A and B are shown apart, each in its own frame.
Chain A
Amino acid sequence: MIKKYFFQLIFFNLFFYKEVFAAESGGMPQLNPEFWISQIFWLTLTFGILYIVLSKLILPKISANLELRKSQIQENIEAAEKQRKDSDLKLKEFEEIILKSKSEAKNIFKETREKALKDIGFKRETLEKQIDEEIKKAEKEINELKKTAPEKINKIAIETSSEILKNLVGTEINNSSISAIVNDFSKKNGNKYYDN
């Protein structure tokens, strides 16, 4: 019911509108030549000024701005590329330095080790030499002692035996005969005492 009313309303309004248009319209205002010349004149004037100002002042500026930005961006990209290359180079250098220093450190370590070893060896040698010498000296002394010991002992033995005999016998006994006996004895049994 409401729907029907609605459409009736629209229909009648349309009808009414047509009447109104028919009564008022005097054709299209566009076809009225009264202001044609005025429109042509003002169009030419405004469009002409617009064209001149745009083409002489504004568009070159925009174009220059765009070009400038483009070139700036290009430059920045190039600069970034260059810096990247530089940093790559630096990185390589850095790595090389690290490698070099590593090997150097190894070398130094090796050298010092060798040096230390050499030092130790040398010291040990000298020490051994000294020890050897000492030993030799000691041996020599011992030998000498060994050599001289029987004589001294023989002397002591002669003197003591001569003294003993003097006290026992009461007379002087010839030292030469005693020494002959002692030497003979020591020759016979010397090995037993001196371990020669």
Chain B
Amino acid sequence: MAANPMTQFEVYRIGPEIKIGSFDISFTNASLFMVVSSLAILIIFNLGSKKNSMLPNKIQLLAELSYTFVSKMISDTAGSKAKPYFAFIFSLFMFVLFCNMFGMIPYTFTVTSHIIVTFVLAAFIFIGVTIIGFIKHGFGYLKLFVPSGVPVVLLPLIVVIEIISYLSRPISLSVRLFANMMAGHTMMKVFGGFVISLGIVGGWLPLSFSVALTGLEILVAFLQAYVFAILTCIYLNDALNLHH
């Protein structure tokens, strides 16, 4: 049972079954780690913003560095018009990052390794960005699908490709995060299993792989959160500053 590398992704109920109508909204291990991640973010950033000393302590420095990091990321990719969406992108980045990072602790559950979670996030971003685009530019937002400087002959093809690429944004965004997290955690589990099965004689090689993979996965956990946030910024940039 424990040898199956996919069992770590199983969702199970914690506590009683809660239902609204016919919908099952029971508190699960996934919910637990969503709550834990959110709480951790809130606690850290609350502590980091509590008192303002001229010389910040470690936690304040952490909060302020994260703030400036995300702030710079947004202004670099989406410009100054994206300022109102700063809080959303900040929460998004932090939420994904903390969920990824909590998943790196053994015996925990990785919220972002579930396609439904990442897809809901990505779909929300997609719909939100599309609405913002239409509000800002009206039907002129459709010009996004018509790149300038393209020969008229190729135009129908290009427009179709652009529309498909635009519509596939939520899928690519969600699948990228989900697949990365799932693949990494599965790999780690597989190599961990090798360590046990090969025993004291042959277990050292997969053990060293496991150690290296852990480092890699921590990197991936950060990188995927960053990519998720920066792609959101880029989509937002398309909606705010129509370039085509």
A29 engages B6 (CB within 8 Å): yes
B202 engages A10 (CB within 8 Å): yes
Closest to A72 in B: B54
B114 engages A39 (CB within 8 Å): yes
Which B residues touch A29, using CB under 8 A? 6-7, 9-11
How many residue pairs link A and B with beta carbons under 8 A? The number is 152
Chain A: interface residue total (CB-CB under 8 A) = 46
Chain B CB count within 10 A is highest, among A34, A58, A61, for A58
Range for the number of chain B residues in contact with chain A: 35 or more
A30 engages B178 (CB within 8 Å): yes
CA distance A13 to B205 in the complex (A): 13
A28 engages B6 (CB within 8 Å): yes
Is A194 part of the binding interface, using a Cβ–Cβ cutoff of 8 Å?
A: no
B194 engages A34 (CB within 8 Å): no
Residues 168-198 of B at the A interface (beta carbon under 8 Å): 178, 182, 190, 193-194, 197-198
Interface majority SS (helix, strand, loop, mixed), chain A: helix
Residues 186-225 of B at the A interface (beta carbon under 8 Å): 190, 193-194, 197-198, 201-202, 205
B45 engages A62 (CB within 8 Å): yes
CA distance A165 to B149 in the complex (A): 170
CA distance A4 to B31 in the complex (A): 48
CA distance A118 to B194 in the complex (A): 116
A38 engages B86 (CB within 8 Å): no
Give, as a whole number of angstroms, the nearest-CB distance from A27 to chain B: 8
CA distance A68 to B63 in the complex (A): 15
B38 engages A46 (CB within 8 Å): yes
Which A residues touch B42, using CB under 8 A? 50, 53-54, 58
B91 engages A43 (CB within 8 Å): no
Residues 50-77 of A at the B interface (beta carbon under 8 Å): 50-51, 53-55, 57-59, 61-66, 68-69, 72
A21 engages B4 (CB within 8 Å): yes
Which A residues touch B160, using CB under 8 A? none
A13 engages B34 (CB within 8 Å): no
Which B residues touch A66, using CB under 8 A? 64, 67-68
CA distance A30 to B121 in the complex (A): 16
Interface string of B94-108 (1 = CB under 8 A from A): 110000000000000
CA distance A103 to B115 in the complex (A): 90
Q: Can you list 7 A-B contacts (CB < 8 A)?
A: A17-B193, A42-B34, A47-B34, A58-B46, A59-B67, A64-B52, A65-B49
8 closest A-B pairs by beta carbon, nearest first, are: A55-B87, A42-B31, A61-B49, A65-B52, A46-B34, A41-B25, A50-B38, A35-B11
